[in-house]
Amino acid sequence: MSRIFCALILSALLIPHALSSEPLFIQKFLFLKSHDPREISFVYEDGSKLRGVYSGISWDAVWDLSTASGSQWFNVNYDADNGLILNHLSRDIQFKLVGQVDNHPLKRLLSLCLKRAGGSSIGRNRCLNAHDRLIDVEIERAYKLLEDAGEDVGDLRKAWENFSSRQYAYIRQLYSKFQGSKWAYISMEDVVEIDETHLDMLNNWIGRLLSNRPDLSDIE
């Protein structure tokens, strides 16, 4: 990504109302290979890999990508409204990665933001708060995907809301006893860890459902 585009992304992350259809991440990726069941891999321009479960594309179309000659390049777009969307650069192919995604752009965006913040406690806290707002969006997206797959998650959602609110309350109470600006971002690190752990569990369930239910090819 260009430095200008990185700066735009980081600015969007730090603005509360920017959680919408505004693109937070756009980058060109190279298709690597598909895996059974229903997983697909790409390579970032820096050589690291992106891997996840695909939705919104048929197995035949994925097989066609795997057997096509030449390099298959995609733009990968992430925004809060639509999640992770992949668009082929020269063919009319678009689909999503859902569930657990290895090397998700969210983690890369957080790393960029923290790098920009440097040693600033305020800056780090802003990065973590912005990241956690996106994690909350992804948790809601995961619950909707499970519901669309026919899963009854009402009780699970209520249990999570009760558990997480109690955890957040304790974190606020604990760190309010300490002096120094660093405790604001350290407490936020704890909140992020709680939320990311829950999201990982939900996304693992989504991946397993999609991998074992061929009829769920188009949940988004």
pTM: 0.88
Q: Which among 81, 83, 90 has a CA at the least distance from the CA of 31? A: 90
| pLDDT tier for residue 4 given thresholds of 50, 70 and 90 | very low
**Tokens, residue 23:** 């693109």
Specify the DSSP element, H or E, that contains 113.
Answer: helix 105-117
pLDDT in tens, 122-154: 999 999 999 999 999 999 999 999 999 999 999
User: Residue 173 and residue 187: Cα distance in Å, rounded?
Assistant: 10
Measured in whole angstroms, the distance separating CA 1 from the mean position of its chain's CA atoms is 18
Where in the chain are the domains? 3-103, 106-216
- Of 196, 195, 213, 192, nearest to 53 (Cα)? 213
pLDDT digits (tens, 9 = 90+) for 156-204: 999 999 999 999 999 999 999 999 999 999 999 999 999 999 999 999 9
Is the pLDDT confidence value at 16 over 50? no
